[in-house]
Each structure stands twice: as structure tokens, then as C-alpha cells.
Amino acid sequence: MGEGQARDEYLDASSNVRHWSTLRFAQLTIYIALTAGLLNILCARSAPPVGRTAVAIEVAGLLTTVLYWVLQERTMLYWYAFVRRAAEIEPALGFRQHLSRPRSGPFSSSNAMRGLFLVMALFWVAPLFDLI
């Protein structure tokens, strides 16, 4: 691969990294808004839902959580793929932006998101089994 081609692919991979990062947080924003809406309905002061309606809202909250968790995981797979590809191209260009990025370890943003979705899944499961 010529240097011009490598540079073009590197720029494209870096652009994709930014895209998937932005998409990740856009998805989180939508998830939070949906969850807030479901909680607002579930905890309405005037007439909170009861019986099957409450269960349906709790199931909807759980399904929303699981679906957005899957979306986050898939988004991160794409993000990691483009970071790895950019890192592979860097030596040919004399760059080190992706090669020298800090390693995440246990305190990564991916693990933080997994923790958030796990807590939210437990939050929605608990009332279904009368745990709270």
C-alpha cells in the first residue's frame, strides 16, 4: 500500500472512530430519554399504573435496557475495529496517536456502560419478581 493510500485509509478509519464514538453517546441519550419516560409513567403521582399495565411498563423498561445494551456492545465492536485498523496503519505513516493511547484496564468506559446497563436491568427485573 502506498503512503497516499495508507494516509487516506488512516483518515477514513479516524473519521469512523469519531462517528462510532458520537453514535455511542447519541444512543445513550435516547436510552435515558426512553427510560425517563417509562419511569414517569410508572411513578405518576396522580394515578400510577397497577396490575398488568405496570408489569407491561416494567417489561418494556427491561426490553429497552437489553436492546440498548446490545446496541452499545455492537457500537463498541465497530469502534475497536477502526481503532485497531488505524493503529495498524500508523507505523507506515510515522504516527502514534492510536498506538500510544492509554490502555483501559478494568476502569474503561465500556465497563462503565456495562455496569450501567446491568444495574438498570436489575432495576427493571426487581419489581417483576417483587424484590422491591
Write the pLDDT tens digit of every residue in 12-43.
Answer: 999 999 999 999 999 999 999 999 999 999 98
Distance CA 88, CA 7 (A): 12
Cell of 124: 427493571
**Dihedral in degrees, nearest 10, Cα atoms 21, 25, 26, 32:** 160
Q: What is the reported pLDDT for 110? A: 92
Q: What is the reported pLDDT for 46? A: 84
Q: How confident is the model at residue 131 (pLDDT cuts 50, 70, 90)?
A: low
Q: Are 132 and 126 in contact (CB under 8 A)?
A: yes
Distance CA 98, CA 41 (A): 44
pLDDT digits (tens, 9 = 90+) for 72-114: 999 999 999 999 999 999 999 999 998 898 888 888 999 999 9
Q: Is the dihedral of CA 18, 23, 29, 31 positive or negative?
A: negative
Q: What is the reported pLDDT for 132? A: 58
Domain positions in the chain are 3-127
pTM for this predicted structure: 0.87
